[in-house]
Amino acid sequence: MPANSQQEKIKEGSWREMGLTDEEFARVKELLKREPNYLELGMFAVMWSEHCGYKNSRPVLKLFPTEGPQVLQGPGENAGVVEIGSGLAAAFKIESHNHPSAIEPFQGAATGVGGIVRDIFTMGARPIALLDSLRFGSLEGEKARYLFGGVVGGIGTYGNCIGVPTVAGEVFFHPSYEGNPLVNAMCVGLLRKEKLARAVAAGVGNSVMLVGARTGRDGIHGATFASEELSEASEERRPAVQVGDPFMEKLLIESCLEIIDKGYVVGMQDLGAAGLTSSSAEMASRAGTGIEIDVSRVPRRETGMNAYEVMLSESQERMLVVPRAGCEEEVQRVFERWGLTAAVVGRVTDDGIFRVRDGEQIVAEVPVRFLTEECPVYCREEKIPAYYEERRSFPVESLPEPADCGSVLLRLLSSPNIASKEWVYRQYDHMVGINTVVLPGEADAAVLRIKEAPPLGLAVKTDGNSRYCFLDPYRGGMLAVAEAARNLSCTGAEPLAITDCLNFGNPEKPEIFWQFRQVVLGMSAACRALGVPVVSGNVSFYNETRGQAVYPTPVVGAVGRLGDVEKRCTQGFKQAGDLIFLLGPLTAEMGASEYLSVVHGVEAGEVPLVDLELEKAVQEVCRSLISQGCLCSAHDCSEGGLAVALAESCISGGQGAEIEIDLAAAESAQGKNLPAVRKDGVLFGEGASRIVISAAPSNRAAVEKAAREAGVPLLFLGYVGGDRFTVKLKKDGKESLVIAVPLTEMTEAWQGGVSRWMEQ
């Protein structure tokens, strides 16, 4: 038995303070056939936390499709990797940093960016783009504005300093996130296929090196902190939030990519959650080896640190590297040239044991598989929430129709969930690297030029609608994937794969676990239908404050390929006289819409049903027309429905539009009988599988032919032009003007929806 690293006996209940249950502690003793010492207990606690061990989610995650001809690396590594052509591949992943951002928004968000960037370059990929997905309470609240401002500042500062552009994202505001914001960060990297690196501690006898920053006491038990609900005491956990140094991260990127490029590396992994403990255990587990770490060799920036603190520290900008035999000095020279430390702190062994030394003294000795493979897995009870049927069956048709749809449109455009997010992205450098060819706000997804292999391009986007998932998690999960893929298709890009960040409350509550499993089932169905496997991701549970969970929030990060980046498409109307169409069905589904929430204060009704075959066909037609040069613009219909999508295309293009919708003709064309269609449902309902497109008159025949041959509904809506946005509804020979709003008024409402709160 190893010596006790703290020279003290474990106190009664100390395992509970670390996040282990009594049953789990008993299992630890059963596996070891003895009582663990304090350091070993801490190692088990972090490795068996939800954040590291996925003990509540692992069985459900197996439902995802993860393979495809384009997939080079699926789940199980630091990031997923897909082939994009010309010998190149894209590595990408999204992760959460929710709890740290709730108590220290700037550093919580900044270190979230730093961590996800390290996950990418450890694969041998150069980071080329950052994205985010953010959730906060209502902007009317001072705390929400404080958290929002701090998080955006942290993301912008870190990304700008390391020279990786933040090119796309999304923000949603809702009271359920009041005490528990969600901060999800995504990174995309580029690599040559043959340079793909993996996080394995292979090669018995090989050295193990700790490179990058020196180790301090920040972030100790951060993984445990991320695996529990927030409470009044959480403010006292500020020491668990890591502090980032983006300038050191930039040096780390360059030095790590250099040693991979020169062939010095067997395996490499970021020291993220649980620090040296998790990186060592996971690398050894993947390789089926053992590993020995000597904490006395770890470079430190604080004095008096003991083995427990060194092994569990989550100090940032550190990597664990297993160099090829005999390459240690070359690795050290590279890191010294970049002004970073690189120390041999251990070796790979053949006995399957994770052994921790402090000089000559063994202070921990645990079989690797006990920490990884023997992590308990729970199949939690499921229960449909009491609210589900009541909200789903709410009679939305009983709500009064608005007298002035123009005022409703302006109100929706100024809603923070729909309004311009320029206040956010103007703090980000989205042009560094000069590869961003579609900027934030110009399209449904960002587009990057791949200058290593012209004319290739990548489209990237994050998306998710938590209101849908709260009201119907299965449909919400399907729609999250469908909309993310649709966003890519609107630029002309073919969706390749997705990464996900699944943010939920406490999985030990049957209602929460039911939401989680239903969301994954819905997402999986959409992924299979659309041919987009899940190649990486993250689960974040325990997003609750004082027992109140956030809305179930699956965030989808999608990556797509453009064969010719010069044929990319944006959302703004281009030229007066262009024709405007709705590609996809004209629907009037009001349930779960932003309109109901903003105008009627109601979050209820049926979530729109997505026909996945139709969804796939609509996206294929859109991409085909863009590749043929037939479209001037394409914009997804989502929050706010058809009227908002049309208005946004007007605002983005600086053009007005004259729209006339013949409801009878639309119903006939779809072969559906919709006698009870309401104008607010048609204008502001959020039915799926719909894209607003515009084309020059000379391309009308080609557009109509493509839709007809694919069996996709297509409705002519009107013309681009003028300085107003007008909508007329026509049925049974009667015509009524329901919206007539000046372009300047719409633009002002949309541009001020967020900034008016943050600049007051």
Question: Do residues 208 and 280 lie in contact, with contact meaning Cβ atoms separated by under 8 Å?
Answer: yes
CB 119 within 8 Å of CB 573 = no
Measured CA to CA, the distance from residue 377 to residue 373 in angstroms comes to: 10
Q: How many helices (H) and strands (E) does the chain have?
A: 27, 28
Query: Are residues 135 and 185 in contact, defined by beta-carbon separation less than 8 angstroms?
Result: no
Q: Measured between alpha carbons, how far is residue 480 from residues 182, 388, 471, 555, 597 in Å?
A: 17, 19, 14, 7, 19
Token couple for 581: 């169409």
Distance CA 337, CA 711 (A): 61
In 193-289, beta strands by DSSP E: 207-212, 265-270
Asked if 285 and 369 count as a contact pair (C-beta separation under 8 A), the reply is yes
Contact 193, 82 (CB under 8 A): no
The residues with which 502 forms a beta bridge, in sequence order, are 539, 554
Q: Are 522 and 475 in contact (CB under 8 A)?
A: yes
- Listed in sequence order, the residues at least 6 apart from 613 whose beta carbon sits closer than 8 Å to its beta carbon are 529
Tokens of 127: 């980071």
Axis-axis angle for helices 142-162, 246-261 (nearest 10):
40
CA nearest 225: which of 217, 237, 216? 237
Cα–Cα distance, 466 to 413 (Å, whole number): 19
Give the residue from 444, 495, 627, 376 showing the smallest Cα distance to 68.
495
97 is annotated as an active-site residue? yes
The CA distance from 683 to 336, in Å, is 62
Q: Do 653 and 421 meet the contact criterion of CB atoms below 8 Å apart?
A: no
Distance (Å, whole) CA 456 – CA 449: 7
Specify whether 51 is catalytic.
yes
- What does the block give as tokens for 225? 């902190």
Largest CA-CA distance found in the chain, in angstroms, rounded: 92
The secondary structure of 532-568 as a DSSP string is --EEEEEEE---EETTEEPPPEEEEEEEEEES-GGG-
Question: Under 8 Å CB-to-CB from 348, ≥6 apart: which residues?
Answer: 201, 202, 203, 204, 205, 206, 207, 208, 284, 287, 289, 290, 291, 322
Name the residue among 281, 437, 252 with its Cα closest to residue 353. Answer: 281
Catalytically active residues are: 51, 97
